[in-house]
Amino acid sequence: MKPISLKNLCATTSLLIGLGGMSWAQADVYFNQNLLAAVSSTDVYGLTCPIGTNTVQAFVNDPAADGILITVQVVDPQGSATKVTAPDGAVSVPVGLPGPNAGNYLILVTKDLNGAIIYGVDFDCFAGGVAYPPVTSALVQNQ
């Protein structure tokens, strides 16, 4: 039997841990959700980024070309915010807030017209250009 090197063991362990909750190649947190019919519907995600975070980025996927536009907004611990709207039936460009700020962020997902819609949202904490998973993340308002 061939011995397993520490390097190979660490790589395998990282892969298995990554497959358990996030992509191994990226530290993404990704949610698929349904915004309810009212135009005022807003889903809010809370995330806590670790020390060393210098940017938080998010993007939204609008899989249906149905005339309803979906916007994702990032709000930092000091209340600064930035947002981007996905093209109808496509994925938005990433929107981000530079830090350097560890702490609690909000990710808001809204739409511009009445009608239920399914979307995907992805967000990450970045340190030095490398994506890291948030310390915690959760859907805190589901409309």
User: Does the 26-141 domain belong in CATH 2.40.50.140?
Assistant: no
Q: Which two tokens stand for residue 98?
A: 């530079």
Give the separation between CA 108 and CA 68, rounded to whole angstroms: 16
| Most distant CA atoms of the chain, gap in Å | 63
- pLDDT, tens digit, 9 for 90 and up, residues 8-56: 323 332 322 333 333 323 445 677 778 777 878 899 999 999 888 888 9
- Would you list the domain boundaries of the chain? 26-141
DSSP helix/strand/coil, 21: helix
Q: List Cα–Cα distances, 25 to 45, 78, 117, 125, in angstroms.
A: 23, 30, 29, 15
CB atoms within 10 A of CB 56: 27
- How high does pLDDT run on average in the chain? 77
